[in-house]
Structure 1
Amino acid sequence: MTSAKTFNFTKPALIALKLPDSGSRIYYRDTREKGLILDVRASGTKSFYLYKKIDGRPERLFLGSFPDISVENARKAASVLKGQIASGKNPQQEKRNIRDEMTFQKLFDEYMSRYSKQHKETWKQDEDVIQNHFSHFLHKKISAISKNEVQRTHVRIGQHNGTYAANNAVARLRAIFNKAIEWGWQGKNPAEGIQEFKEVSRDRFMQPEELPRFFAALNEEETTIRHYTWLLLLTGSRKSKVTAMRWADIRWHQQEWHIPNTKNGDPIIIPLTPQAMEILNERWQKALVECGQSAKKPKWVFPSKKSKTGHIACPAHSWKKLLETAEIENFRMHDLRRTLGSYQAITGASLQIIGKSLGHRSPEATLIYARLHLDPVRAAVEKATDAMFRISENSVAMNNHS
């Protein structure tokens, strides 16, 4: 820095300073606070800086513009910064780090390509959650996202989308920042320690009086949606599993579906009822016709040319329309899974059998599951399925009689 004139900074004195010629600037140094300087430019701008060497390198740290910041406040700010420097911090380098730091958009893109799409079956849900609930963070530097902002967003999601959706969204955001830390980012996870909503376990399953309306509405649906929904119910599997069902995992002779890539590396074996096999056979015949003379075999049970994955996504809009037609309220697609389990219980299946049919893998149940043969599991699923159909048929018969 060029030589600076030195005097005791006061408000009247700074107001009275003459402006330099066009294209030049003048520096003034305060006699009371060492290192405090005032940069006066021809445009009339007067700026306070702390001038100090940090690690042998001269640095200018901007404090504020006069008169927006008073002389006393400029002195206090300079004193605070000097204290931080004395303790080993470099405020100027921290500013440079923030300037060069990645935005949340860049972190999210890296998380998706480097981790989520490589290791998570629910990667599409990561995309949906960030776009639907945290898009206002995308342009921000990751260190600028505060815990308070995350907490406020969590509350807003809870008010509009429910407590489960809010907790799930924050958990996904937390995972992204945990990966950033694992990859070398030095900041704190803003989603850590967020007070989550207390979740009440759902016990909703389709009631006997709802089954006929549901089945009737379902049978009027377009083929793909109808088949997809039937298989959700008949297998008790999760949405993400059925959307990504592969022909290679169907064991036609054993009438089983072997779901790969589970957490412990072992496949989950789902018994396929006659109704499920009928649907799969119809879709397989259709897939063969569509392939024609091509040597390439069909891969997905529910293919989609519009999807990047090659298979359909969860048909949320069609599901909503289906429930409206059937006049059924407060029923989620995941409740179909609970419906199968509930009707197994109603028809006398044990908790262990139900757990195996739904693919539960809790550590406490592992030894029990290891001793279970699949035949009683298949029998329980078929018995529950038959019970649901009988309820539906009896209801239709009574309605016709009346």
Structure 2
Amino acid sequence: MLTRFSAMASKLTKTVVDRIKPGSKDEFHWDAEVKGFGARVTPKGKITFVVQGRVEGSGKEARITIGAYGVFTVDQARDVAKEHLRSMRMGNDPRDMKKQSEAMKITLQAVCDAYVSRPGKLKATSREAIERHVRTTFEAWKDKPVVNITEDMCRTRYREMLTKGLRGNREGGSPGQANQAFSVLGALLNYAARQHKRADGSPLIAHNPVSILRDDKVRLKPRTARILDNKVGAAWQALTEWRATAHNRDTMSSIDLVRFLMLTGLRISEASSLKWSQVHLEDGYFHLPNPKNSNPVSMPLSTQAVELLKARPKVEDNEHVFPSWAAAGHIKDPRDLMKKLSVVAGMHITPHALRRTYTNVALRQCRIEKFRTDLLTNHITRDVTAEHYFDTTNLQWLQPEAQKIGDHLDLEAAKVAGANVVALPQRA
């Protein structure tokens, strides 16, 4: 409830305001000349000019603080009060107008900071990618109001990235990088539109300017690189031989990490950062507390994976399974080893290509159902039966499937090594 105007109001002047004495609580002294304009006095004697009135058409009452006496003179404050009262008579709430004014000044950097600071919403890698694009790709825009970002700006910057990238300019980027950058920008602008409104209640950004790129964006072909079926054995055998002759700690970690990727189909970030506290060898599983899909899960280990982990040396004061002398404390990118493995595979192979290799071996070579393969690779499954009738957080029950994949790798490697092998029946 707003304070009612006093019938004893008198025109506020410098002399009148200077003579005001504070009381035991906040008191209001109203101006006789402009109804709704007044001075609020706190018990400590602080005087602040205010204006209050009713917004025409809405019935809402509003009180707005103009500013402190000393910052505003009485006459300056009265002029501001007249403007606010005029707005109210026109049906505009000055508080909404102030919010809109503040929202119109919000910069891309401020939106980014708010977006990435939401508790539990983003993984560290996603946050880093978003902040990096704002800091680099959109460096010229980051300190400008988001409402000033236009379709023409988006189209020009996108094409500029593609052109510079094609010319080999280090400031440019591949089509994939350009697409990712503008996906980030689109998400940030959508977030700004939801969080901030104009005075009439409409979104701060009515139309996302990134949408103009719908017809400009380069359509990327799905990445399908993997170790081909006839090279899987050679790759597994090469890794086994390299491991037998490795003596450097980082080299051993890199080889074992890549072998572990082939045995589990994990994402490189999930495998490389694995800690001993997550590994339960006696029970034949390891735990991922914070995977990419945000669903904590316990994954089965084949006997090959168990033996690999048992052979891993533990390093004092380093909790990682695949430790490194690097600052992170663990192997992050086994780049040199992947180059050697690419020669064996006959094509460029990345850690993620090993994930595709694992999926292909599971589906095509081991005939494992797709929903079980999705679970083994920790994909979000769309299988209703799996979602509602299977335990999708403790996957030790999929150990037989994991074992099939480990056995297949050994069998293919044995063929390459020239062993006289006979395919054994799949383990139950």
Q: Normalized against structure 1, the TM-score is what?
A: 0.59
Residue 377 of structure 1, aligned match among 398, 403, 426:
398
Show the counterpart of 1:170: 182
Residue 379 of structure 2, aligned match among 349, 355, 360:
360
- In the aligned structure 1, how far is the partner of 2:296 from the partner of 2:151? 39
- In the aligned structure 2, how far is the partner of 1:375 from the partner of 1:389? 21
Three-state SS of the structure 1 residue aligned to 2:286 is strand
Matches within 5 A, 1:189-228: 189-192=208-211, 194-195=213-214, 196-211=217-232, 212-213=234-235, 216=238, 219=243, 222-228=251-257
Show the counterpart of 1:341: 359
Show the counterpart of 1:233: 262
Show the counterpart of 1:256: 285
Preserved CA contact (<8 Å) 1:352 1:369: no
Show the counterpart of 1:9: none
The amino acid across from 1:208 in the alignment is D
Structure 1 residue 301 corresponds to structure 2 residue 321: yes
Q: Deviations over 1:201-255 (max 9, x none)?
A: 4443211343325753664671232232222222112223223323333233221
Preserved CA contact (<8 Å) 1:352 1:368: no
| Aligned CA distance change for structure 1 residues 87 and 376 (closer, same or farther; 3 Å) | closer
- In the aligned structure 1, how far is the partner of 2:305 from the partner of 2:238? 18
- Give the number of equivalent residue pairs: 305
Preserved CA contact (<8 Å) 2:338 2:350: no
- In the aligned structure 1, how far is the partner of 2:157 from the partner of 2:196? 26
- In the aligned structure 1, how far is the partner of 2:348 from the partner of 2:81? 64
Matches within 5 A, 1:2-401: 101-112=105-116, 114-115=117-118, 119-123=122-126, 124-131=128-135, 133-155=137-159, 160=165, 162-184=174-196, 187-188=204-205, 189-192=208-211, 194-195=213-214, 196-211=217-232, 212-213=234-235, 216=238, 219=243, 222-261=251-290, 266-283=295-312, 285-287=313-315, 290-291=316-317, 299-302=319-322, 312=330, 314-315=332-333, 317-318=335-336, 321-322=339-340, 325-326=343-344, 328-345=346-363, 346-365=365-384, 367=386, 370-371=389-390, 374=395, 377-397=398-418
Show the counterpart of 2:43: none
Q: Deviations over 1:247-301 (max 9, x none)?
A: 3332332211222246887532311123322333344x423xx13xxxxxx5443
Show the counterpart of 1:60: none
Preserved CA contact (<8 Å) 1:208 1:388: no
Three-state SS of the structure 2 residue aligned to 1:210 is helix
- In the aligned structure 1, how far is the partner of 2:337 from the partner of 2:110? 34
- In the aligned structure 2, how far is the partner of 1:299 from the partner of 1:175? 36
Preserved CA contact (<8 Å) 2:266 2:377: yes
Three-state SS of the structure 2 residue aligned to 1:115 is coil
List gaps (5 residues or longer) in structure 1: 1-52, 58-85, 292-297
How far has the Cα of 1:335 moved from its partner? 1.9
How far has the Cα of 1:343 moved from its partner? 0.8
- In the aligned structure 2, how far is the partner of 1:313 from the partner of 1:149? 40
Preserved CA contact (<8 Å) 2:286 2:301: yes
| Aligned CA distance change for structure 1 residues 269 and 153 (closer, same or farther; 3 Å) | farther
- In the aligned structure 1, how far is the partner of 2:351 from the partner of 2:373? 19
Three-state SS of the structure 1 residue aligned to 2:229 is coil
| Aligned CA distance change for structure 1 residues 179 and 207 (closer, same or farther; 3 Å) | same
- In the aligned structure 1, how far is the partner of 2:121 from the partner of 2:323? 20
Preserved CA contact (<8 Å) 2:266 2:355: yes
| Aligned CA distance change for structure 1 residues 101 and 355 (closer, same or farther; 3 Å) | same
| Aligned CA distance change for structure 1 residues 193 and 389 (closer, same or farther; 3 Å) | farther
Preserved CA contact (<8 Å) 1:111 1:176: yes
Q: Deviations over 1:8-27 (max 9, x none)?
A: xxxxxxxxxxxxxxxxxxxx
Preserved CA contact (<8 Å) 1:233 1:340: yes
The amino acid across from 1:148 in the alignment is D
- In the aligned structure 1, how far is the partner of 2:132 from the partner of 2:196? 26
- Could you say what the CA RMSD is over the residues aligned between the two structures, in angstroms? 4.4
| Aligned CA distance change for structure 1 residues 216 and 303 (closer, same or farther; 3 Å) | closer
Q: Deviations over 1:38-70 (max 9, x none)?
A: xxxxxxxxxxxxxxx99966xxxxxxxxxxxxx
- In the aligned structure 2, how far is the partner of 1:190 from the partner of 1:316? 40
- In the aligned structure 2, how far is the partner of 1:126 from the partner of 1:303? 28
| Aligned CA distance change for structure 1 residues 324 and 384 (closer, same or farther; 3 Å) | closer
| Aligned CA distance change for structure 1 residues 374 and 134 (closer, same or farther; 3 Å) | same
- In the aligned structure 2, how far is the partner of 1:338 from the partner of 1:166? 24
- In the aligned structure 2, how far is the partner of 1:163 from the partner of 1:316? 25
| Aligned CA distance change for structure 1 residues 332 and 237 (closer, same or farther; 3 Å) | same
Show the counterpart of 1:43: none
- In the aligned structure 1, how far is the partner of 2:308 from the partner of 2:404? 18
Preserved CA contact (<8 Å) 1:129 1:169: yes
| Aligned CA distance change for structure 1 residues 55 and 155 (closer, same or farther; 3 Å) | farther
Preserved CA contact (<8 Å) 1:255 1:271: yes
Preserved CA contact (<8 Å) 2:278 2:286: yes
